[in-house]
Amino acid sequence: MSDQTGNDSSGSDSSTGGTAGGGSTPDAGAVDARTVLVTGATGYIGGRLVPRLLDAGHRVKVLVRSPEKITGVPWFDDVEVVRSSLDDSSALEEALQGVDVLYYLVHSMAAGSGFEAKEKAMAQLVAGAAAAASVRRIVYLGGLHPRNTALSTHMRSREAVGEVFLSGPVDAIVFQAGVVIGSGSASFEMIRHLAETLPLMPAPSWVRNRIEAIAVRDVLYYLVGAAALTEPLNRTFDIGSRDVLTYAGMMKEYAAEAGLPPRPVLALPVPAPRLAGLWVALVTPIPLSMSVPLVQSLQHDAVSAEHDIDTYIKQPDGGLTGYRRAVALALGKERDGQVETIWANAGADADPLPSDPGWAGHRVYVDERTFASDVDPSHVWTIIEGIGGRNGWYSLPLAWSVRGWLDKLSGGAGLLRGRRHPHHLVAGEVVDWWRVERIERGRLLRLRAEMRAPGRAWLELCVEPDGTGSRYSQRAIFFPKGLSGRLYWLAVLPFHSIIFPAMSRNITAAARRLAAEEKSGVAEQGAGGPGAGEARPTP
């Protein structure tokens, strides 16, 4: 159950000072800097790897389809951004000119007819472009799996991509990692929600399978180290913590580290991966499209067959991170609001909202609300930027919860994805079933819906000065798709007539409470201070 859609490392989850584990640099790190190109930089692992490559002294280029998704990251101005896609061979070859190392961190959780063939064809195109540009090395992060065993579709696809690179003209290092543990990783969120939601966990028989997890800090440590290796290498490396547990044991160890009561796991004599995937989708933030392949990848033991990586990259200072320690680090980062990236931020691109929906060539429905108050705009903005997640949506929480569960049941995102940070947002990241499409800090937040609906939807929250106070504006926009979209809008109108007026009032009321707390010294001054996290939805 590898998280190659991305993985976490931040602060105590990962090291600082240029490496991804324990504060030490791999032996190969004391060589000349490389020019590297990172694909998948908007994903979970890629978004963590880029700053660590920069810290290690490498020149970094990132290839992304939508650069606006990374404009808010701290390292944006330190990299060369190439707007392109991996299926454009000429643009890719041009981007790879002068590149020493290519990081291939792309893997879709999509499914359907032709999925494996498309993944393999993409890898072949990339391998050819890398050879044409005289790239020295390709580094790929695949999944840890047993040999000579029938694999799930997604694990088989990852193995095939690795084989494409290993059989190509450019030397490749293919890391094979299992369950990756770090704040915000899909595997960690799955374990966390299962353990915290269920006091008794009925589970399929695969929970007895042996799993070797790896801390995300160690995954990144090896990825950074691969750029500095000088000798020719073309092979796979199994990487893991050397700490082997059953999957049931991992859930029990999580519960113990999180201070929960013991969590008995009842292993049922039925594999049922699809049914288990549906159950995981219902009780965790992981959508059905991702939960099924994640669960399918757990059907076999996932334990390192060799430790040859130790010959080329020494272990970090203090050794590899054990499972229990990785859980503690991840929980600490989530508790402190210092999660750099989360699995859900690696979402699909979508068309943005036209600047004037009325002239967009669509039938459009709009619900607009405004609310004037004597509250300073900065306090209103603090509440706006902190919306969603644990702070909720400031109106009828039961209605939002019901809609979230309906979305989950239909295979959508639901409300369980939460948000990366309780106070701050950047373009491209998720907030429950929404994604931040645009943010003008202090003034405008535009969210694009990723819930299942017969049409496209946006929610805009805006605040502007109004005399000595402020004017809060709220706009829900819906582009219906066919007759079903129009009927859907009519069906939700009665709920909107209650939810949206209450939302505008309650956001303003929460801002007023925040201002009062700040004035009395309860909260720290400034948007995004600790006081921002104390605002709570008004029922």
Residue 354 — pLDDT band, cuts 50, 70, 90?
A: low
Task: Tell me the C-alpha distance between 285 and 192, whole Å.
Answer: 10
Is it the case that residue 75 has pLDDT exceeding 90? yes
> Each residue of 316-346: pLDDT tens digit?
999 999 999 999 999 888 777 667 776 556 6
Is it the case that residue 224 has pLDDT exceeding 90? yes
Domains and CATH numbers, the chain: 35-331 (3.40.50.720), 365-521 (3.30.530.20)
- Provide the pLDDT for residue 537: 36
Provide the phi-psi class of 190: left if phi over 0, else alpha when psi is between -120 and 50, else beta.
alpha
Is it the case that residue 423 has pLDDT exceeding 80? yes
pTM strictly above 0.75: no
- Provide the pLDDT for residue 360: 47
- Provide the pLDDT for residue 60: 97
Axis-axis angle for helices 482-520, 397-409 (nearest 10)? 140
- Provide the pLDDT for residue 327: 94
Is it the case that residue 411 has pLDDT exceeding 50? yes
Cβ contact 375:469 at 8 Å = yes
Is it the case that residue 534 has pLDDT exceeding 50? no
Q: What is the mean pLDDT of the segment spanning 117-142?
A: 94
Residue 347 — pLDDT band, cuts 50, 70, 90?
A: low
User: Quick check: helix, strand or coil at residue 118?
Assistant: helix
> Each residue of 24-67: pLDDT tens digit?
444 444 457 899 999 999 888 999 999 999 999 999 999 998 88
Task: Tell me the C-alpha distance between 136 and 102, whole Å.
Answer: 8
Helices (H) and strands (E) in the chain — how many of each? 14, 19
Q: How far is the CA of 359 from the CAs of 118, 362, 451, 473, 485, in angstroms?
A: 37, 8, 24, 21, 19
More confident residue, 453 or 203: 453
**DSSP per position, 342-410:** -GGGSPPP-PPPPSSGGGSSS--EEEEEEEEESS-HHHHHHHHHT-SGGG--SS-HHHHHHHHHHHHHT
- Which residues, in sequence order, are bridge partners of residue 237? 175
Q: What is the mean pLDDT of the segment spanning 307-321?
A: 95
Q: How far is the CA of 134 from the CAs of 98, 102, 128, 297, 356, in angstroms?
A: 8, 11, 10, 35, 46
State residue 98 phi and psi, 5-degree precision: 80, 0
Q: Amino acid letter at 98? A: G
Cβ contact 330:183 at 8 Å = yes
Residues above pLDDT 70, as percent of the chain? 83
